[in-house]
Structure formats: structure tokens, C-alpha cells
Structure 1
Amino acid sequence: MSQLTTLTTLASLRAELRQLRQQGQTIALVPTMGNLHAGHLRLVEEAKRHADKVIATIFVNPLQFGPDEDFASYPRTLADDQAQLASVGCDFLFAPSVDEVYPHGQQQLTKVCVPQVSEGLCSAKRPGHFDGVATVVTKLFNMVQPDIACFGQKDYQQLAVIRKLTEDLSFPIQIIGVPTCRSAEGLALSSRNAYLTEKERERAPKLYATLQAIALKLQEGKLNYHELTYQARAKLAELGFSPEYVEIRALDLSPALATTQEWVILAAARMGKARLIDNLIVKKHQA
């Protein structure tokens, strides 16, 4: 197990970063909210392939939680997270407090808004969520100034938001999207899966199976997007989910057209206390 250095203040982080840069080391960033699982560890492993040093962050960001969401109850498991990060060779953990990240409070804070890609889908039920994500990621980018940053593709819309803000704000950072890590049954790994009961955990993989069924129809040339998503929402409801959305988009999240050759199918659904999201990229079969 490698040595993991945990930092909690911006001053200590910058002191370490100054030394790394003086040594000519390249730096990769892996932002998380903690309660880590195998998907997060895969991000660290991918980051290690692209940079000399990896800095993971754990920060449960209040800006991206709505008033009725689970900010207060979100699992905080720092000691276990530190052990997991050390086991995969992460070099540094930056785990600041809310006051360290937002020293002047949150009410009058400058916020980052990424238009178009942040609209619809998850933001329809979580207004302001992606402004909170974009703001904290921008702050982390400025705090760490990494060469590379790794994000999971499970949060497809979030990844699109981060790619756009990186381009629009001219951050000299390579954004790497890492494929979704799944259980043997196909459930996308998520910290919020801990909210599922045992029976719900058995049914939850049906969300991904529903996306796979849509993918097969798209590849068969059935391009009635509205009908496909309507049927999928009905199926999810029948399986015990409360679907928020099922949509078929082009890869850049613009509306899918009859001429679209590659799609991303995106879904969000609640099961009990858990809100599950997933997506699947589909390519048109070439004749």
C-alpha cells in the first residue's frame, strides 16, 4: 500500500503542488464526493496512466444539492476512503471543509453557468444542480491546476458540462471520460446505491437492461424516438421504478435526428430512497 498524503487546506495543497511543479511532475485530478467504490478507484487508476502524481479530492459540495436533497445525510466515510485511495496508489487526497472552499459563504458567491448542455435531463428535476457542479469544478481546477482530470461517464451530462466549461474558459486541462463501472448484474456503481434495500438492489439492474433494449431497437433501424422512450418509461414504472426521464440524444446532447449515426440513451429513475442515473452509447450498425 502506497503512502497517501491527506491535505485539508488550500495553503498546504499549494505548498505541495509548488514542489511537484518545481520537480517537473505532471498532475492528474480526480474529483469525488467520497463514499468511494470501485468506479472511483478506476478513475484513479486511469489518472495514474496519464500523469506522474494523482490528487483525488473529497468534497460534498452543498451548491449542487437542492433544498430537499440528501446533503446532510450523504455518506461521509473518510477513513475508509483514505484506505481505498492508498490501495490503488493515489498520491494525495485534498479533503477541505465547506468553509475552506467557500470562505466568504455561498450566498454572494460568483457562480459558473454552462448553457445548453446543462439544460433538461437531470437539471429538470434538480434546478441549479449543474451550476453548483460547474462552480466547484472550476474552483478545484484553479486550486489544483492539473494537467489532466478524470471523470466517470456514468454522469454523462455532468461530463458534457465539464468538457464545455473547460473549453469555454480555456483551461489547459485534458478531460478524460472513464467508462462506467458496473456490478456483475449491470447496475452502474454509485455511492447512492447504498440507499437501496436488498429487494430494490435485485431490481435496480433493470434500469440498464431497459436501456439495452432501446439500443437493440435503434440498431434494428427503429428510430421512433418518442415511442421508444415512452415504452421504456412505462416498462420502468411496471418494474417498480419512478422514472424521471428516458431520452435519446446525439452524443453532444443535442436532439437526435433521423440522420443521427450515434446516440446516447440517458435515464434517471427513483427506486425507494435512491435516485439512479445511467446511460448507454449506441452506434448505428453499418451495412
Structure 2
Amino acid sequence: MKVITEQSELKKEIELLRSQGKTLGFVPTMGALHKGHLSLVQRALKENDALVVSIFVNPTQFNNPNDLVTYPRTLENDVALLGTASEDILVYAPTVDDVYGDNVVSVNYDFDGLEFKMEGEFRPGHFDGVGTIVKRLFEIVTPDHAYFGEKDFQQLAIIKKMVKKNKLPVGIVPCEILRETSGLAMSSRNVRLKPEYAEAAPFIYKTLKSANIKFGTERAKEVTDWVKSQFENHPLLELEYFVIADIDTLETIENKKENILYRAFIAVYAGDIRLIDNLALN
């Protein structure tokens, strides 16, 4: 497995692959890899001739400086995990300078309002950072297909919008959420949970499943109020938001309509660790 730190070297490798007529998949990550990432990697390996996995903690998408500092950096372990899937993966693990040069700032994007919903409301500027780094990585890697997990469903919608608006020649492939046996969505943040919070966190998915059942017979507002009440009574978990939204516009709804697909989105603090999840409702 090749671990490449400079885009000039990566581009030479990609040029060689292209000269051989090979298709290229891409899985962008911020490291601290787990089985959820590995499921994206395994799918990308099946659907492409070659694969690049980037490992880069992107500074422009952290609105909380402390979150950037404490984000786990585990390159050696990440490479070892990727090796269980294939030894032929190209790992791009650049420095900030290699990606951004002297201009470590976000581009201001217009995502047709998607950027102001949910995560955008509580993490201002976050999606400008996401759009900036994903577009930059697409320019460096030039993949045919890029793979993203649905745990970050809003991010996935933002990236699809960015690709469409910029007419980028890359197919975006959504991948289902991989969960722990407890139901907790796999996340790099899970390893930072203190034992009592790790034990409590599966309550998030349990609540989403109950909300899904209630949504079959109750109005969205009634389901939302019920979810809020569940967390008001929880001794350890603090709800930041719960919304039911149209999957295309991400607009919060109070009443459902026929032939529209909806999804429930949630963000919860388990101590000082922020966890997000979502679930299709129909």
C-alpha cells in the first residue's frame, strides 16, 4: 500500500492508472477510520478498478477550534485497517500546505439554502469548509466515483448540490449507515465517549426507531414534541435538535404529504461529544 503525502506524486500515480484505462473510486475521510469507513472502501473497491482514500483533517470545516485540536489522528492504525480490505489502495495523507498552499480559507458557497438547515444552523460556516475541501480533493484526485456515508446525510446533499452547480465529472455514491450492534451509528467520535455515555448513546437510535413508528399515524410536530420530551427526561443525553424534513429540500415539516420522502435528523450531546444520526421515515 502506498501512503502519499504530496499531490504531485499522487497525480503521477493517477496518470498511470488512467493510461491503463482504469476507473478510479475515491473515499475522502478525516481519518480515525472504523468499520463504517471500511464499508465505503469495500464498495468502492468492487465498483472501480482502483481506489484512492484520503486521510486529511480539514481545518476549514471546524467552527469549534477545540474540536479541531482534539480530533483523533491515527494514520498508522488507519493504514492497517485499510490493508484488511486491500493492499492496492492509494492513501493520500497530505499536509495542510499541500492541499491549500498559503490560502487556508473557505470559499463562500450557495447551496440553495441547504447549508442553513440543521447542522448549518448550529455550525455556521461548516458547509463552506466541506464544499471547499471536497471540491479541492476532487480536483486533485479526479475520481470517476466518490463514496459518502448517509450518516452525514445533509453533507451528502450539500456535496451533490456542489457537484451539480459546478458541473463536476464525478458520480456521488451514497452508502447506508453502518451501526454498532447496539444501533449506535458508527462514528470516529464514538471512541471518545466515556463509558457511561457510551452505554447511554444507543438511546438515540432507539428513539429514532420509535419516532418512525409514530410518524405512521401522527403529525410531524407531535412526533417532534414526543422526541424532545424523551430527551428532557434523560439524565445523560442532551438534545440539540430533532427535525423531520423533506429529503430533497431539507425543509422541516409539520404535516406530511403524499409522494414526498421524509427523514428524521437528530443531534445529541453525550457529555462533550456531539453525535448525529438520521433515519428514513417512509
Deviation at 1:26, TM superposition (A): 0.3
- What's the counterpart of residue 282 of structure 1? 281
1:104 correspondence with 2:125: no
CA shift digits 1:28-66 (9 cap, x unpaired): 000000000000000000111211001000000000001
- Give the Cα–Cα distance (whole angstroms) in 2 for the partners of residues 204 and 259 of structure 1: 32
Pair 112,100 (structure 1): closer, same or farther in 2 beyond 3 Å: farther
- What's the counterpart of residue 91 of structure 2? 93
Alpha carbons 1:26, 1:53 under 8 Å: kept: yes
Alpha carbons 1:210, 1:236 under 8 Å: kept: no
- What's the counterpart of residue 166 of structure 1? 163
Alpha carbons 2:107, 2:129 under 8 Å: kept: no
Letter in 1 for 2:147: C
Count of aligned pairs between the two proteins:
277
- Give the Cα–Cα distance (whole angstroms) in 1 for the partners of residues 119 and 107 of structure 2: 23
> 1:1-287 residue pairs with structure 2 within 5 A?
4-89=1-86, 91-107=89-105, 110-219=107-216, 221-223=217-219, 225-239=220-234, 240-252=236-248, 253-256=250-253, 257-260=255-258, 261-283=260-282
- Give the Cα–Cα distance (whole angstroms) in 2 for the partners of residues 67 and 77 of structure 1: 20
User: What is the root-mean-square deviation in Å for CA atoms of aligned residues?
Assistant: 1.4
**Any stretches of 5+ residues in structure 2 without a counterpart?**
none
**Aligned partner of residue 143 in structure 1, secondary structure:** helix
- Give the Cα–Cα distance (whole angstroms) in 2 for the partners of residues 113 and 12 of structure 1: 33
- Give the Cα–Cα distance (whole angstroms) in 2 for the partners of residues 123 and 13 of structure 1: 33
- Give the Cα–Cα distance (whole angstroms) in 1 for the partners of residues 161 and 107 of structure 2: 18
**Aligned partner of residue 118 in structure 1, secondary structure:** helix
**Aligned partner of residue 9 in structure 2, secondary structure:** helix
The structure whose residues are more often helix, as a share, is: 2
- Give the Cα–Cα distance (whole angstroms) in 2 for the partners of residues 45 and 230 of structure 1: 39
- Give the Cα–Cα distance (whole angstroms) in 2 for the partners of residues 69 and 232 of structure 1: 29
CA shift digits 1:239-270 (9 cap, x unpaired): 22111110001111134343144210000010
- Give the Cα–Cα distance (whole angstroms) in 2 for the partners of residues 227 and 255 of structure 1: 13
Alpha carbons 2:10, 2:92 under 8 Å: kept: yes
CA shift digits 1:89-138 (9 cap, x unpaired): 1511000001111102324x644442311112011111000110010000
**Aligned partner of residue 154 in structure 1, secondary structure:** helix
Deviation at 1:200, TM superposition (A): 0.7
CA shift digits 1:144-164 (9 cap, x unpaired): 110000000000100000111
- Give the Cα–Cα distance (whole angstroms) in 1 for the partners of residues 233 and 140 of structure 2: 46
Pair 207,20 (structure 1): closer, same or farther in 2 beyond 3 Å: same
- Give the Cα–Cα distance (whole angstroms) in 2 for the partners of residues 120 and 56 of structure 1: 29
- Give the Cα–Cα distance (whole angstroms) in 1 for the partners of residues 256 and 271 of structure 2: 36
Pair 79,113 (structure 1): closer, same or farther in 2 beyond 3 Å: farther
Alpha carbons 1:263, 1:281 under 8 Å: kept: yes
Give the alignment's TM-score, normalised by structure 2.
0.94
Letter in 1 for 2:160: R
Is the deviation greater in 75-84 or in 119-128? 119-128
